[in-house]
Structure 1
Amino acid sequence: MILQRHHRLIVLRGVLPALALSTALQGAAQAQHARPAPTPGSRQTGVAAPGEPVLHYVTRPGDTLIGLGQRLLRDPAAWPGVQRLNHIADPRRMQPGTTLRIPVALLRASPDTATAQVVDGTVQWRLAAGASTSPASAASAARPSRPPGNASDWQTLRSGQSLPSGAQVRVLGRGTALLLLANGTRVQLLPDSLLDLDSLRSYAQGTMHDSHLGLQHGQANILDNPKHEPNQSLRIITPGAQAVVRGTAFRVDYAAGVTRQTTLEGAVELSAGSARVAVNQGYGSLSANGQPPMPPVQLLPKPDLSGLVARVERLPLRLSWAAQPGARSWLAQVTPADAPLRILARSTVTEPALTLADLPDGHYLLRVSALDAQQLQGYGAERGFEVAARPFAPLLQSPGRQAVVRLARPAFDWSEVQGSARYALQVCPQADCATPLLSASVAAPPWTPGTDLPPGTLFWRMASIDAGGKQGPWNDADPFTYKPAPGPVDLGQSALRFTPDTLDVNLPPPPDGLQYRFTLAGSAAPAKLLQTVVSADGRAQLQRPSGGAYLLGVSLVDSRDGTAGPVAQQKVNVPPRYPDLWLLLVPLLAAL
């Protein structure tokens, strides 16, 4: 449905000297739906009535009023009115370089078209019911009153497609469209916008272009007349305001009854009701529900994106920037670096950061502008960044984070990543792995190094390598500690002593944190463990076994985790407990 327009006038003054098109803005502001029809005087006498635009035509060698009438006027015989308006004595002889004022009402109009230069996402168009592609009357400056077309009329808009006068364009979802008008004016439609190409006309064989657009909702970013040609006119109409544009860069958005306008270049005069304010470059204003516009406020400056990370290797990704005074929120969007009009993500955030769950690997642009308390959008900043998160790094399993390993060549294990052909593995003395101790390319877990690790705190990390040889990012290096297992015991320092009931063993005290483990086993294979004694001071007392040969084993054990070193063994011959007892049997044997 086309919403009724409440005409409040926005007059934009160009950044260059005033253009040759002169428009009676006050008359346009007083019109409710259309400009007044041209007066008989303008058509018959050539005298421009108040409120009518005129074309400033600079004569060329060989120009005559009769010839100009045949080339430019709707009624070639109306040239005498131009003669009287400009006080031309001889219609067949005019000095080259003379500026003629020709009422637009006398000019022959031709239809213009717009071109969908870039279309991304879901963008549709239709020709509104009642619209006509024929040139409109030179005096019908305001948007015509017509019902919209049927919803079934919507068609997909393609890049490069021409759009006639009377077409409607809507952008859905995260789509965007860049429309190019006949004079080079660029109109970018942002997501969730609806624009009517109310009237696209040209006059004087393309010398003058007059375009009237209706923004029903959403936002349009406009760069008007970038070549700064004279005799150009662009009007943007919303349900709450009208913008008459003359060579400037600005934004217009309309939502929930509020028209917001920010001027990036040039100047704007915004009027509503009986109030009028000047909105200069770098300022913005708004008009809500027919109320007078608020006094212009200075736009917030560009956000500082210098701290944005240049390369993102982890998902989800978080893009952050510096906060700034006066900002209540930020409008952030991400586009491909090679397609800056394609919006991949767009969000208003209340903290200076944008979080995205996923982005394919590639180069991107982040655009950010701050919004003030009135939701007026300030100047925008942009900065490039790269996503390089694939192939994803594997999940490290063993050694675990902060684990202690006791083997000089421990086994490294990890979870495999689908699509990875190989893995890069590094063991490093520092967390940044600037100077790795070991680097290896391995096909599958587990992996055991071919050389001993040095004792102490170490770090290990991994990256996946795909079938094409592309290596993904490293994961965070996990720390672990290699603490060598206790060494062997020197049994040459041991002292054995037998008592009737015990076997006493004495060794030097063990190193700090270690203790001895003594074992006694039979010597016959397989050896049967008979006793185990743990000693913290090197002294052990075992029960004395019956006479015979035994194996005494001694190892050092870590008192904190029970890690044992190699077992040193010594054969011990235990004498009988009562070696002379057999002599008592000699008399008995003799008596027999």
Structure 2
Amino acid sequence: MCRPVFYEACMHLRVVWWCLLLLLSGAASAEDFVYSVRPGEHLWGISERMLRSRGLWLRLQSLNQIENPYRIPPGTRIRIPLHWLKLDPDVARPLQMDGQSQLLRPDEQARLLTMDDELRVNDVLHVGEDSSVLLAFADGSEMLVRPNSQLQFDRITRVGGQAMVDTSMRLLQGAVEPTVTPRQSPSLKFDVHTPIGLTSVRGTQYRIAAEPGSLRVRAEVLKGEVVLVHDGAELAVVAGQGAVLSTSGSVPPRATELLPAVDVSGLPRQLRYLPLRLQMALPSGAQGMEVQISRSEDFSGIVSERSFADGEWRLGSLPDGHYWLRVRAIDPSGLRGFDAVHGFEVAARPEPPIVLSPTMDSRVRAMSIPAEWTRSADAASYRVRLWRQHPSGSEDLSEIMLTTPIIDQGEKSSQVKLGSHSAGRYVMSIATIDAAGREGPPSLPQSFRFEPAPTIGAAQSAFSARELILRWPAVPGVQRYAYQWGADADFDQVILEGELHEPVLKLPRPRRGIYYFRVRVLDDPEFPAPFSATQEIVVPMSWHSAGGVAILLGILLL
């Protein structure tokens, strides 16, 4: 009978012992960290690796009612009070950088941030214009620090020797976009303080921006939940909502629904002309948009960020290459809506020249179509193309340029005659070819009307003792002609000019020498035809002149 009594006493003492350990360890808390045991692990090893004191392993055993600390089934969930865990300083590391950013560290001069740097407590990160830094934390959280931002690190603590981080930062200026790994305990924070308020999250994707002057702070939540704290008041903002805090007011009574994504389905996939432009239709209620440009689809870096009061994105230039555009509609309070992303290519180089002639919708009257354009510093040569257009001129010029041109030729100079063609409408464009043989985009198409000028045959000259007669073939239907008689081929020295009603010019016989003559028809006062080809007229010596008489007397005296 003694043995059963002794056994019951032993069991009673065991229960008392367990209760005592539970009292010493404290009851399980909702804020305890929960660890999942892996194959081969035992309680002693877990305690040595994660707890601030080895002596806590017995209390950990009692808290979780583990009978055999050396044989724990894999997958067993062990609750660990946070204040038992190790706390070690940690760092944030750059994952990607675009542009230039500065690192300001206490007692050190500011310097450019590099990919090898580790951001520690009290460091301040200054991100420049059209620059960005993607930061990584030990728990897998990431944060994009956007252009023109300043961020100070107040706390980066690794908890329990694991990939768990308790983080607190101050956004002094600009905007950040964190993607936070779900917290393994409510006590593990990812806090972003601003000059006005605090955002505290436990697993979410959101944006927060401190506007210039720190008078307003915007928060927009895409996933999870954010709690905004200002002057002791709190506001929970869930996915699809946003809120604005300002120094002049308190926490708003409720969050605001974010605007829907902008429709980018109709945007072009290639941009060939500078400056870059894209027109977008904004959703109802939008008063502008914010546009970011990145080289990667995940927007781990930003090369440009601009806001616009309308739906037209404008940017002076980007190097040729592939990019991604992310646009957000802006509501009247300044909150940014949901993201819309569009991939595109910039292929704008070498840039096309500016066409000087023919100009758009001009009327050209000439023997042949004259083309002239500006010279490009990048040009080794040019490609000139000419298309025939429908007489109505109603065709889309971009569609015409997809057809086969009637002229497609290379040129070294910046002007050329494209020959004579029948009267009608034509379209011309010119592209630059660089030294590597790469052809850039064509110039904007120039649509014009060509009217071949009447051809005037060469003038026949006849001399008499006192007169020079120039006669050229009559042009049918033409009643008037204009002429020039000059001392040089460029007609910088015009001796005589005028108008005639007949295709004949009679002049007093000029002195011996070389002269130049050209003529044109005057059938259209608004668009006169060009002059004919310049003719060289050689006027011989007249025997009736003083010089001729002297020569004749000399011959007779011989």
TM-score by length of 1: 0.67
> Does 2:447 correspond to 1:447?
no
**Residues in 2 aligned to 1:406 and 1:287: alpha-carbon distance in whole angstroms:** 68
* 1:465 Cα deviation after fit: 1.0
- 1:515 is aligned to 2:470: no
Q: Compare 110-119 and 195-204 and name the one that shifted more.
A: 195-204
Aligned to 2:191: 236
- The whole-number CA distance in structure 2 between the counterparts of 1:126 and 1:319 is 38
In structure 2, what is the equivalent of residue 326 of structure 1?
285
- More displaced 10-residue stretch of structure 1: 431-440 or 468-477: 431-440
- Quote the offset at 1:557 in angstroms: 5.2
The code of the aligned residue for 1:327 comes to A
The yes-or-no answer on 1:421 pairing with 2:380 is yes
Question: What is the aligned partner in structure 2 of residue 583 from structure 1?
Answer: none
Tell me, yes or no, if structure 1 residue 304 matches structure 2 residue 282. Answer: no
| Separation (CA, whole Å) in 1 of partners of 2:62 and 2:520 | 122
Larger Rg: 1
**CA 1:267–1:435 in 2, change beyond 3 Å: closer, same or farther?**
same
Residue equivalent to 1:217: 173
Q: CA separation of 1:401/1:296 partners in 2, compared to 1, >3 Å: closer, same or farther? A: closer
Offset from partner CA, 1:386-413 (integer Å, 9 cap, x none): 2222222223234444554444434433
Relative contact order higher in (CA < 8 Å, ≥ 6 apart):
1
What are the Cα deviations for residues 537-583 of structure 1, in whole angstroms up to 9, with x where unaligned? x9x9x9xxxxxxxxxxx99752535549999xxxxxxxxxxxxxxxx
1:93, 1:162 → 2: CA distance?
A: 40
Give yes or no for the alignment of 1:46 onto 2:5: no
Contact 2:169 2:191 in 1 (8 A): yes
Deviation, structure 1 residue 350:
0.9
Partner Cα separation in structure 2 for residue 165 and residue 42 of structure 1: 38
Between 264-273 and 373-382, the greater mean CA deviation after superposition: 264-273
Secondary structure of 2:218's counterpart equals strand
Question: 2:536 matched to which residue of 1?
Answer: none
Q: Give 3-state SS (helix, strand or coil) of 2:57's partner.
A: helix
2:283 and 2:89 map into 1 onto residues whose CA distance is 47
| Of 264-273 and 356-365, the range deviating more from structure 2 | 264-273
Q: Is the 8 A contact 2:383 2:411 kept in 1?
A: yes
Give the distance between the partners of 2:163 and 2:501, measured in 1 at CA.
Answer: 105
Q: How far apart are the structure 2 equivalents of 1:251 and 1:157? A: 23
2:239 — aligned with what? 281
- Is it true that 1:195 corresponds to 2:155 in the alignment? no
Q: Indicate the SS of the match to 1:375.
A: coil
Q: Is the 8 A contact 1:65 1:91 kept in 2?
A: yes
Give the aligned partner of residue 534 of structure 1: 501
Q: Which amino acid aligns with 1:247?
A: G
- What residue in structure 1 maps to residue 53 of structure 2? 75
- How far residue 323 of structure 1 moved from its aligned partner, in angstroms, is 2.0
Q: What amino acid does structure 1 have at the position aligned with 2:150?
A: L
Shift of 1:110: 3.0
Where in structure 2 are there 5+ consecutive unaligned residues? 1-19, 390-396, 458-473, 484-495, 507-518, 534-558
Backbone CA RMSD of aligned residues: 3.9
CA drift at 1:205: 3.4
Out of 523, 542, 552, the position equivalent to 1:558 is: 523
- What is the CA distance between 1:188 and its match in structure 2? 0.8
1:388 maps onto 2:347 in alignment: yes
Taking the TM superposition and a 5 Å limit, the aligned residue runs for 1:37-116 are 45-47=24-26, 53-60=31-38, 65-88=43-66, 97-116=75-94
The DSSP-based 3-state class of the residue aligned with 2:417 is coil
Alignment of 1:407-556 (within 5 A): 407-430=366-389, 431=397, 432-433=400-401, 434-449=403-418, 452-486=420-454, 511=477, 514-515=478-479, 534=501
Aligned counterparts of 1:206 and 1:555: Cα–Cα separation in 2: 93
For residues 188 and 236 of structure 1, the distance between their equivalents in structure 2, rounded to whole angstroms, comes to 15
What is the CA deviation profile of residues 287-316 of structure 1, one whole-angstrom value per residue up to 9, with x for unaligned ones? Answer: 333723340111111111233333323222
Answer whether contact 2:480 2:499 (CA < 8 A) is retained.
no
Distance in 1 of aligned mates of 2:44 and 2:184: 24
> Residues 170 and 110 (structure 1 numbering): CA distance in 2 closer, same or farther, change over 3 Å?
same
- The verdict on how the C-alpha distance between 1:486 and 1:46 changes in structure 2, with shifts beyond 3 A counting, is same
Q: Which residue matches 2:221?
A: 263
- Counterpart of 2:337 in 1: which secondary structure? strand
Taking structure 1 as reference, are residues 484 and 83 closer, same or farther at Cα in structure 2, changes over 3 Å only?
closer
Give 1:369 deviation, angstroms.
0.6
Q: 3-state DSSP class of the match of 2:94?
A: strand
TM-superposed deviation, 1:341:
3.7
CA contact (8 A) 1:557 1:564 kept: no
Cα separation, 1, equivalents of 2:520 and 2:360: 29
> Cα distance, 1:48 vs. partner?
6.0
Counterpart for residue 12 of structure 1 = none
Q: Note if contact 2:420-2:452 (Cα within 8 Å) is conserved in structure 1.
A: no
What is the identity, as a one-letter code, of the residue corresponding to 2:479? Answer: Q
Contact 1:487 1:556 in 2 (8 A): no
1:296-342 CA distances to partner (integer Å, 9 max, x unpaired)?
A: 11111111123333332322222221122121221112233589444
User: Residue type of the partner of 2:264?
Assistant: L
Q: Distance in 2 between matches of 1:518 and 1:202?
A: 94
Displacement of 1:371 after TM fit? 1.8
| Equivalent-residue separation in structure 1 for 2:100 and 2:409 (angstroms) | 48
Paired residue for 1:358, among 302, 317, 336? 317
For the residues of structure 2 that align with 1:89 and 1:532, how far apart are their CA atoms?
122
Distance 1:563 1:111, change over 3 A: closer
Identity %: 29
Conserved? CA contact 1:113–1:181, under 8 Å? yes
- AA aligned to 2:501 is V
Distance in 1 between residues matched to 2:375 and 2:74, nearest whole Å: 81
Kept in 2, the 8 Å contact 1:183–1:209? The answer is: yes
The one-letter code of the counterpart of 1:306 is S
Cα 1:562/1:179, change in 2 over 3 Å: closer
- 2:258–2:337: 8 Å Cα contact kept in structure 1? yes
For residue 47 of structure 1, report the CA deviation from its aligned partner.
1.6
For 1:518 and 1:373, locate their aligned partners in 2 and report how far apart those are by CA, in whole Å.
68
| 2:348 partner SS | coil
The answer for unaligned runs of 5 or more in structure 1 is: 1-40, 128-148, 490-507, 520-528, 543-553, 568-592
Superposition deviation, residue 258 in structure 1: 3.3
Residue 429 of structure 1, CA deviation: 1.1
Q: CA deviation at 1:160?
A: 4.0
State the distance in 1 between where 2:240 and 2:257 align: 6
Asked whether the 8 Å contact 1:307–1:322 carries over to 2, the reply is no
CA distance in 2, matches of 1:510, 1:67: 111
Asked if structure 2 preserves the Cα contact closer than 8 Å seen for 1:485 and 1:565, the reply is no
For 2:384, give the aligned amino acid: L
Q: CA deviation at 1:190?
A: 0.9
Structure 1 residues 401, 207: CA separation in 2 closer, same or farther (over 3 Å shift)?
A: closer
| More off after superposition, 362-371 vs 57-66 | 57-66
CA 209–532 in structure 1, closer or farther in 2 if over 3 Å, else same: closer
Q: CA deviation at 1:273?
A: 5.3
- CA distances 1:63-82 after superposition (whole Å, capped 9, x unpaired): 55555443332221233333
Q: Give the letter aligned to residue 106 of structure 1.
A: W
Shift in Å, 1:186? 0.6
Letter in 2 for 1:534: H
Question: Could you say if the C-alpha distance between residues 532 and 185 of structure 1 is closer, same or farther in structure 2, counting changes exceeding 3 Å?
Answer: closer
Report the count of equivalent residues: 456
- Name the structure 2 match of 1:35: none
Task: For residue 44 of structure 1, report the CA deviation from its aligned partner.
Answer: 9.7
The equivalent residue for 1:496 is none
Q: Report the CA distance between 1:469 and its aligned residue.
A: 0.9
Taking the aligned partners of 1:238 and 1:566, their CA distance within structure 2 comes to 81
